Amino acid sequence: MFRRVAELRYFVLNNKIRLSHIELIRSQFHPFQKSEIDTSVFLLDGTVKMPRPKRQSSSSGKEPVAKKAKKDDGSGSGSEPEKIEDATSDNTFASDAVNPEGKKWNFKIVSWNVNGIRAWMQKDGLDLIKKEDPDIACIQETKCSEIKLPMGAKPKGYKSYFMSAKKEGYAGVAVYSKVEPESVKYGIGDEEHDDEGRSITLEYKHFYVVTAYVPNAGRKLVTLDKRMDWDPKFLKHLHDLDALKPVIMCGDLNVAHLEIDLANPKGNHKNAGFTKEERSGFSNLLSAGFIDSYRHLYPDKTKAYTFWTYMMNARAKNVGWRLDYFVLSEKLKSSLCDNIIRSSVMGSDHCPITLLMRMGEQ
Amino acid sequence: MFRRVAELRYFVLNNKIRLSHIELIRSQFHPFQKSEIDTSVFLLDGTVKMPRPKRQSSSSGKEPVAKKAKKDDGSGSGSEPEKIEDATSDNTFASDAVNPEGKKWNFKIVSWNVNGIRAWMQKDGLDLIKKEDPDIACIQETKCSEIKLPMGAKPKGYKSYFMSAKKEGYAGVAVYSKVEPESVKYGIGDEEHDDEGRSITLEYKHFYVVTAYVPNAGRKLVTLDKRMDWDPKFLKHLHDLDALKPVIMCGDLNVAHLEIDLANPKGNHKNAGFTKEERSGFSNLLSAGFIDSYRHLYPDKTKAYTFWTYMMNARAKNVGWRLDYFVLSEKLKSSLCDNIIRSSVMGSDHCPITLLMRMGEQ
DNA sequence: CGTATGACG
DNA sequence: CGTCGTACG
């Protein structure tokens, strides 16, 4: 019925072929994503058949990559064997990071602005999170009401918590947690902001986890007012929590704090994400007893960004912004092991960030 | 700076790779389109570079296809020479059709519902028209205000006439004419319909050419009223013209006249395009002194369609409708040489149709 | 399924 | 540039 005419790995998005031969994929995608790419079959009617009989196989991550890639549906002619041996080991996300006392991390949390959970899942973003295997994963900009979530958006092994905006396809956050929290609070207690699905607070035995998608000040700063209304309210929310238990806050804070936190500070003082108002909002957070974990660990690290506009090939040129943060109660400083910016991980205009902590003994 | 990793012909649309190796292209595309397909270079940043230094070369059509395809930008490594010899000659559109008196055609007109002129031009639809080289080309559903027309939408060698709907991205027709008409009339003299950019009338020395994009009756026939309001008004327009000079009308009439004109007549009696109201509208046209040129020439021809829904792989299965017509004044019957349905020509959910006439001596 | 909008970023 | 929503077909 159909004839195999090409043996390619591919990835199409917005009218562009994003990758073709496995060599190219390797140069672009994170090792764990590479392992998920399938053999494509080009049908004579012009469509492409993706032989993915089972995508749910939550393999423990020990299967050689090349083996998977060699899979063949047997209906093609002229297929060639996979020639490239993939040397990827499955320890890509391994880390021996330790806290200031030298004890190894025992708790991992990931934060990622996914820019649309549905598009992101098509790009195997969630699989990547499964591979990273965090205790908690917080995602922002789901742009999806809970009813429209695709199959598999609530992965096994995690409790899932979604908060969507009233407006369809706008904002929205979610949290995946291996351990069921003692309580979950949606929003920050402000009706206007909470209608936009911007924050979830999870209470655990010894700490809180808060994720946030902070309002964007908008082109020409049309929504700077909304943003500046958010900042003190959110700070109060964190402050109130901090009085009870230490807080791990993460998410897309939609601000680059200092000049070091974006590629082009000079040109952006009047643009959303780098106005003095937004920057001082972040400074207020730090003055109130919190730390920017990445900058705490890497005070002088330059060119460390978590967001690149899709325009002007910004990511390839690393013209980016650090907009995604882990912000910790100061008393958690002694538990901090590492904060990793996974800038090579694709799937969104933001990359994920990972926090490694030594919990339980502070 | 970049490395050639694959030597492919390709075509991406709506997140699908539409073709890959030249073999596949051949099976899908019209010979003249095939000759326009370029060598693609996959860049390491994930984008695809299309080495098309000059697209405007209005070659006389004598250059061998394989030669063009062999073009190389010289910056890649591991590129392979073009292995496939393309036997396509450039007489694809040649015809020796004659009129009833045995005289060969001397006038060609093409009609095509392009389903969005911008998308269609990306698919090299206009180049195909240039290759067919008609005296007049009429296109429907441009879905584009004149200000937003892409570069090259007004090809050299033709006078261009556009009529857009007031509503952005909706309906709209255009005509390309080698010979400048004596007069051009936009619309049919009805304000409501004319606001939707549905018809242009061109007056030539010995005849009129009218193109039309007839209102679709809509899902669940929600706009059947509008459609049935159109039919008599349009017929009057044609009738008035016919009293002065013979008329060649063409376009998407949004009706399959008889059961033979669609693949599934039984299931569509209550659907837009095959209701008794719409069908009798067409019958009225024929009763008023006009002929359906295709059915006149091929009264028993089955499976001859000009439209296939994009859904359900209808085109591959030839589950289509004949919605596009040349309708001629009866006195032009003796000038009619042929009416060709170019069902293999891609670029829209409709295919183009071609009328060949022997003009000037009736 | 696919081409257009427009909002948002 | 890209992900949503919508209308239209």
Q: Residue A19: closest CA among chain B residues belongs to which residue?
A: B46
Residue A324: pLDDT band with limits 50, 70, 90: very high
Chain A segment 278-307 residues within 8 A of B by beta carbon are none
Chain B partners of A44 at a C-beta cutoff of 8 Å?
24, 27-28
Tell me the pLDDT tens digit for each residue of A249-300.
999 999 999 999 999 999 999 999 999 999 999 999 999 999 999 999 999 9
d(CA B46, CA A24): 8
Torsion (CA) A21, A25, A26, A30 in degrees, nearest 10: -160
* CB A353, CB A338: distance < 8 Å: no
pLDDT of residue A106: 97
Stretch among A230-239, B74-83, B306-315 having the lowest mean pLDDT? B74-83
Residue B361 pLDDT > 90: no
Please say if the pLDDT value at position A22 is more than 60: no
Interface probe for B, chosen from A5, A8, A346 (most Cβ of B below 10 Å), is: A5
Active site residues of B: 213, 252, 350
Look at residue A171 and tell me whether its pLDDT is greater than 70. Answer: yes
More confident residue, B313 or B143: B143
Question: What are the φ and ψ backbone dihedral angles of B47, each rounded to 5 degrees?
Answer: -85, 170
Question: Residue B123: what pLDDT?
Answer: 79
CB contacts of B12 in chain A (<8 Å) are: 12, 15-17
**Pairwise pLDDT comparison (B207 vs A6), residue with the higher score:** B207
| Residue in A204, A208, A213, A305 annotated catalytic | A213
Q: Which of A6, A12, A42 sits opposite B12 (nearest CB)?
A: A12
Nearest neighbour of A20 by CB, restricted to B6, B19, B28: B6
- How does residue B253 score in pLDDT terms, banded at 50, 70 and 90? very high
CA B295 to CA B304: how far, in whole Å? Answer: 10
Q: Is it the case that residue A49 has pLDDT exceeding 60?
A: no
pLDDT at A16: 45
pLDDT computed for residue A85 by the predictor: 28
Q: How confident is the model at residue B79 (pLDDT cuts 50, 70, 90)?
A: very low
CA A175, CA A165: separation in Å to the nearest integer? Answer: 15
Cα dist from B37 to A47, B81, B127, whole Å: 18, 16, 12
Q: Is the pLDDT of residue A119 over 70?
A: yes
Q: Which segment of A169-178, B59-68, B293-302, B306-315 scores lowest on mean pLDDT?
A: B59-68
Which residues of chain A are within 8 Å of residue B313 when distances are taken between CB atoms? 45, 47
pLDDT of residue A318: 95
Which pLDDT does position A123 carry in this prediction? 79
Tell me the mean pLDDT in the region B218-223. Answer: 96
pLDDT at residue B13 above 70?
Answer: no
Q: Which residues of chain A have a CB within 8 Å of the CB of B312?
A: none
User: pLDDT exceeding 70 applies to what percent of chain B?
Assistant: 74
Closest CA to B138 of B165, B169, B116, B160: B160
Fold annotation for A107-357: Deoxyribonuclease I; Chain A (3.60.10)
> From the candidates A1, A12, A26, A27, which should be mutated to test the interface with B, based on the most B CB atoms within 10 A?
A12
DSSP A170-234: S--EEEEESSPPSEEEES-S-HHHHTT--EEEEE-SS-EEEEEEPPP--GGGTTHHHHHHHHHHH
Instruction: Choose between B360 and A232: higher pLDDT.
Output: A232
Given this model, what pLDDT does residue B124 score?
A: 81
pLDDT in the model for residue B91: 64
pLDDT of residue B298 exceeding 80, the answer is yes
**Band (A32; pLDDT cuts 50, 70, 90):** very low
Closest chain B C-alpha to A34 CA, distance in angstroms: 14
Residue B18 near chain A (CB below 8 Å): yes
A-B interface: how many C-beta pairs under 8 angstroms? 74
Percent of the residues in chain A that have a pLDDT greater than 90, as a whole number: 69
Q: Which nucleotides of C are covered by protein (CB under 7 A)?
A: 1-6, 8-9
Q: Please indicate whether, in this complex, the C-beta atoms of B20 and A28 are within 8 angstroms of each other.
A: no
Q: How far apart are CA A133 and CA A306, in angstroms?
A: 20
List the domain boundaries for chain B: 2-49, 107-357
Overall average pLDDT of the B292-296 stretch: 98
Contact B45 A313 (CB under 8 A): yes
Split at pLDDT 50, 70, 90, the class of B92 is confident
Give the residue, A21 or A351, on which the prediction is more confident. A351
pLDDT of residue A172: 97
Q: What is the pTM of this model?
A: 0.79
CB B296 within 8 A of CB B99: no
Looking at per-residue pLDDT, the higher value among B44 and A47 belongs to A47
pLDDT digits (tens, 9 = 90+) for A181-220: 999 999 999 999 999 999 999 999 999 999 999 999 999 9
Looking at residues B313-328, what average pLDDT do you find?
Answer: 95
Buried b / exposed e across B203-227, counting CB within 10 Å, b at 16+?
Answer: bbeebbbbbbbbbbbeeebebbeeb
Model pLDDT, residue B360: 80
pLDDT at B71 over 60: no
Indicate the SS3 state at residue A19: strand
pLDDT at B69 over 80: no
Going by pLDDT thresholds of 50, 70 and 90, the confidence category of residue A124 is confident
Assess whether pLDDT exceeds 70 at residue B189: yes
Q: Which residue has the higher pLDDT, A231 or B32?
A: A231
Q: How far apart are CA B94 and CA A129, in angstroms?
A: 59
pLDDT at A360: 80
pLDDT band at A361 (very low <50, low <70, confident <90, very high): low
**Mean local confidence (pLDDT), B305-315:** 93
pLDDT at A91: 63
Q: How many Å from the CA of B88 to C1' of D2?
A: 39
Give yes or no for residue B17 having a pLDDT over 50: no
- Mean per-residue pLDDT for A112-136? 92
> Catalytic residue among A38, A252, A261, A338, which?
A252
